[in-house]
Amino acid sequence: MKDYIVKWNNKKIPGISKPITESGILLGAHLIGAKKLKKFFNSNFKYIPKDGNGTSVIEYIEEFSGYDVSKI
């Protein structure tokens, strides 16, 4: 996920109200799956995966935006 963090950290994309952050990417990958998260970015945000509960990767990226992961 490092390449995606470097490329997208602190960037805004359509459909997400908060900037993308390292914590949002990491938690999105954990909860949706790294392959699906990569496909989300590589599809130019057209592919929006959801987990088994119907929560989209966008919701996870927004919800977990801005946490300090350096202390984990």
Alpha-carbon distance of 63 to 55, in angstroms, equals 11
Domain-wise residue ranges, the chain = 2-65
Contacts of 70 (CB under 8 A, 6+ apart): none
What's the pTM value of the predicted model, to 2 decimals?
0.88
Query: What are the per-10-residue average pLDDT scores of the chain (72 residues)?
Result: 94 89 94 96 95 94 90 71
pLDDT of residue 16: 87
Alpha-carbon distance of 10 to 53, in angstroms, equals 27
